[in-house]
């Protein structure tokens, strides 16, 4: 019987440890979204308090002295006292996502947290809520006993729980889509998990359990922990969608991959550690040796299994089973990056050098900015490459060469001459590279001349034809991919906007769908942060190319003037907003009215470092940061005004052509700045 009790106690401790591991992992996973989503913040608070309770209870079972046990049992009340408030906070956040925010409920959340802190203080520093028995460690299950005000706490605990469940029920009734309603229904069913997990039931009994616990007691505890753990897993799987702008498929894939690699791996390692440490005497080896080998082997095997069976597991759980997703994955795996292109061209050029017995060969691509050297094999002096790339007439001259591939010579201004399909120039034989259609020049393929004129035999010419064809194909494929990327970049802001509205409309319905997309952005509380992030990546970066500001109407209109490139359009709008902060008169680096404009122009447009800007403007770095914040707020207000004016202009009839310059003059009027000087 003693062995069975010990086994059940160990099983319960292991189960609690796994729940702490998963709870901590869930908190870490959601930290990145907590700042921008209220549901996530409330869920993190709830899971954190539950994890604290389980962790403290786990440590109590290992306490060696009574004072340690009492301290840990009282610290356990950090979770017990705060769970009701956190759960009510979560229920209010869920209800608010359906379009019914309430200031009264917000105040109730604050009152709930305040009441929880009061009960926590009483539990930590007085015996009014709970008190420690004299022989706390003599019990098989150390626990505190009820104080005078425990009944009051229990009333608060279950009242807040009932109100929380009522709020989730209201959120379920207000859900718009079938999917969201199903998620709310499941959330409502498992919402009782937190109070069931942390409420101190043993406080209600005076039973000290001086002897071994009965088997039924352990079975009830273990079963309860299993049920609660399952309910928390379901709750996590459904709440992770709230506040996410990515499609449900992406959210689900990220969550499952994270859970498999972090908490699941850690839990398996923990179980193996326990088994190895207890089974080492039977093997006849030191416990440290067996444990180390087992832990390392487990980590390696688990990671290998996840890597090896990732695709079958994804198909089994229907994570990435959509045909469109599989095509995108295949495209991602087969993309020809710039580095891949250079490596491939270097191989082609090395083969050309070997086959044609020449020390140097190169490939240059013809771009709108002129020839660009892509790859070189062998020694190529910087002077040579610069001279080659400076020629702006390559396209014209190579067309001449292509037309005279019959062996006749044709010179151009005495500098270049075409011989047998080659352009002979300053010790190089150069061939143009054309696309598959033969009408577009993609680049030039050059080899160092081994004679005054091309003297390749038929076999060498055949090899060169094959190599130049492969180089041309690689350049053409890279151009096609760049066109695809440009199209995707143009679509990305619209796709992101659609996903955001899809996510919000699933809960709030008509108010979100009826609002103009750009109006939703300028009214966003994080609008200033969006502008700040875009300014920080003014000359390129993810915070500019993936900015929600791409959805603004003024940015969409500006794309027509900037090659349909949303990044250039947004940069132009930011530049216009900065210029509107410019005061009249001659520019000064130190006068008060020019400070804000100077900060914006030097810091973001010119990209100077904070230290250099502060030195140039004769101010401290701390003062610079303070004024920079005000300058960014001015830019955000200017963009907001520009956007709202554009929306109003769309609703009005178009003005006569003679009035258009007047409108432009109005838009170019500098906006009055905030002043902190």
**pLDDT 10s digits, 414-466:** 456 777 778 887 778 888 888 877 777 888 888 888 888 888 888 888 888 89
Residue 167 lies in a domain: yes
Short-list 187, 159, 193, 155, CA closest to 173: 187
Same domain, 450 and 529: no
Question: Does 506 fall in a domain?
Answer: no
CA distance 364 to 468: 12
- CB count within 10 Å of CB 255 equals 19
Residue 509: inside a domain: no
Show the tokens assigned to 217.
């007691």
- Residue 642 has which token pair? 């520009």
Q: Do the domain assignments include residue 676?
A: no
Q: What gap in Å lies between CA 190 and CA 449, rounded to an integer?
A: 78
The answer to whether 579 and 551 have CB atoms below 8 angstroms apart is: no
At 383 the pLDDT is 53
The reply to whether 369 and 353 lie within a common domain is yes
Domain match, 71 and 192 both: yes
Q: What is the pLDDT of residue 613?
A: 86
Rounded to 5°, angle at Cα 333 from 332 and 335? 65
**Both 240 and 256 in a single domain?**
no
282 and 237 in a single domain? The answer is no
Structural domain of 526:
517-667
Percentage above 70 pLDDT, the chain:
76
Claim to verify: residue 298 and residue 276 sit in the same structural domain: yes
Q: Distance of alpha carbon 431 from its chain centroid, rounded?
A: 46
- CATH number of residue 202's parent domain: 1.20.1070.10
Could you tell me which of 306, 279, 276 has the C-alpha nearest to residue 293?
276
Regarding whether 449 and 385 lie in a shared domain, the answer is yes
Does 620 lie in the same domain as 577?
A: yes
> Residue 501: inside a domain, yes or no?
no
Domain boundary, last residue among 458, 481, 504: 481
Directed axis angle between helix 566-579 and helix 621-651, to 10°? 110
Q: Which residue(s) pair with 441 in the sheet?
A: 434
Residue numbers in the chain where pLDDT is lower than 50: 392, 398, 400-414, 510-514, 651-677
Q: 561-580: buried (b, 16+ CB within 10 Å) or exposed (e) per residue?
A: ebeeebbebbbbbbebbbeb
Q: Give the pLDDT of residue 381.
A: 62
Cα angle at 179 between 176 and 184, to 5 degrees? 75
pLDDT for position 46: 94
Place of tokens 């947004």: 570
Alpha carbon distance 597, 272 (integer Å): 62
Residue 312 shares a structural domain with residue 425: no
Q: Is residue 211 part of a domain?
A: yes
3 state SS of 444: strand
Which residues pair with residue 417 across a beta bridge? 411, 424
Count Cβ atoms below 10 Å from residue 130 Cβ, excluding itself: 25
Mark whether 560 and 622 lie in a shared domain. yes
Is 323 among the domain residues? no
Q: How many residues does the chain have?
A: 677
Tell me which residue of 575, 591, 573 sits closest to 583, measured CA to CA.
Answer: 591
**For the chain, how many structural domains are there in total?**
4
3-state class (DSSP) for residue 145: strand
Residue 533 in any domain: the answer is: yes
Residues 455 and 359 reside in one and the same domain: yes
Give yes or no: residues 165 and 235 share one domain.
Answer: yes
């Amino acid at each position: 019987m003693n062995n069975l009790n010990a086994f059940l106690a160990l099983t319960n401790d292991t189960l609690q440890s796994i729940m702490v591991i998963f709870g901590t992992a869930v908190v870490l996973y959601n930290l990145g979204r907590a700042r921008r989503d209220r549901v996530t913040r409330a869920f993190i608070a709830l899971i954190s308090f539950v994890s604290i309770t389980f962790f403290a209870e786990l440590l109590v079972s290992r306490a060696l002295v009574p004072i340690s046990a009492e301290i840990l049992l009282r610290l356990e009340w950090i979770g017990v006292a705060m769970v009701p408030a956190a759960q009510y906070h979560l229920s209010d956040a869920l209800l608010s996502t359906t379009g019914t925010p309430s200031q009264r409920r917000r105040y109730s959340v604050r009152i709930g947290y305040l009441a929880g802190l009061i009960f926590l203080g009483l539990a930590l520093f007085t015996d009014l809520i709970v008190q420690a028995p004299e022989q706390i460690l003599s019990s098989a299950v150390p626990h505190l006993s009820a104080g005078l005000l425990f009944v009051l706490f229990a009333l608060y605990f279950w009242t807040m729980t009932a109100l929380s469940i009522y709020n989730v029920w209201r959120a379920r009734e207000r859900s718009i889509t079938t999917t969201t309603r199903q998620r709310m229904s499941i959330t409502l069913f498992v919402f009782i998990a937190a109070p069931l997990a942390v409420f101190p039931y043993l406080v209600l009994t005076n039973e000290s359990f001086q002897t071994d616990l009965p088997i039924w007691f352990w079975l009830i505890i273990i079963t309860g922990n299993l049920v609660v753990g399952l309910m928390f897993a379901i709750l996590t799987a459904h709440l992770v969608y709230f506040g996410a702008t990515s499609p449900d498929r992406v959210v689900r894939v990220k969550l499952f991959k994270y859970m498999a690699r972090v908490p699941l791996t850690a839990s398996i390692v923990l179980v193996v550690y326990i088994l190895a440490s207890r089974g080492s005497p039977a093997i006849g080896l030191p416990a440290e040796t067996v444990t180390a080998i087992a832990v390392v082997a487990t980590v390696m095997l688990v990671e290998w299994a996840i890597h090896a069976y990732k695709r079958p597991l994804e198909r089994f759980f229907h994570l990435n089973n959509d045909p469109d997703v599989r095509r995108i994955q295949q495209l991602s795996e087969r993309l020809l990056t710039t580095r891949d292109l250079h490596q491939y061209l270097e191989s082609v050029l090395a083969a050309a050098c070997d086959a044609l017995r020449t020390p140097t060969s190169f490939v240059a691509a013809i771009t709108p900015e002129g020839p660009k050297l892509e790859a070189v094999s062998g020694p190529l002096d910087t002077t040579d490459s610069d001279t080659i790339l400076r020629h702006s007439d390559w396209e014209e001259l190579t067309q001449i060469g292509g037309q005279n591939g019959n062996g006749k010579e044709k010179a151009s201004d005495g500098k270049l001459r075409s011989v047998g399909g080659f352009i002979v120039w300053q010790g190089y034989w150069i061939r143009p590279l054309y696309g598959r259609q033969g009408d577009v020049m993609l680049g030039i393929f050059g080899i160092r001349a081994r004679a005054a004129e091309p003297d390749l035999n038929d076999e060498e010419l055949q090899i060169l034809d094959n190599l130049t064809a492969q180089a041309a194909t690689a350049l053409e494929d890279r151009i096609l991919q760049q066109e695809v990327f440009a199209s995707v970049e143009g679509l990305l802001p619209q796709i992101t906007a659609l996903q955001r509205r899809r996510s919000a409309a699933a809960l709030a319905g008509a108010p979100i769908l009826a609002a103009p997309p750009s109006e939703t952005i300028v009214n966003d509380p994080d609008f200033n942060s969006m502008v700040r992030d875009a300014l920080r990546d003014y000359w390129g970066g993810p915070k500019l190319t993936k900015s929600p500001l791409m959805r603004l109407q003024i940015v969409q209109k500006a794309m027509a003037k900037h090659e349909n490139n949303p990044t250039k359009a947004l940069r132009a709008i930011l530049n216009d907003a900065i210029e509107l902060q410019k005061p009249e008169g001659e520019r000064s680096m130190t006068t008060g009215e020019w400070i804000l404009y100077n900060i914006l122009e030097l810091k973001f447009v010119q990209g100077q470092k904070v230290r250099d800007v502060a030195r140039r403007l004769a101010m401290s770095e701390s003062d610079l940061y303070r004024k920079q914040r005000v300058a960014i707020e001015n830019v955000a207000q200017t963009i907001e005004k520009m956007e709202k004016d554009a929306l109003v202009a769309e609703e009005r009839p178009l003005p006569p052509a003679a009035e258009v310059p007047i409108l432009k003059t109005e838009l170019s009027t500098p906006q009055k700045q905030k002043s902190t000087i």
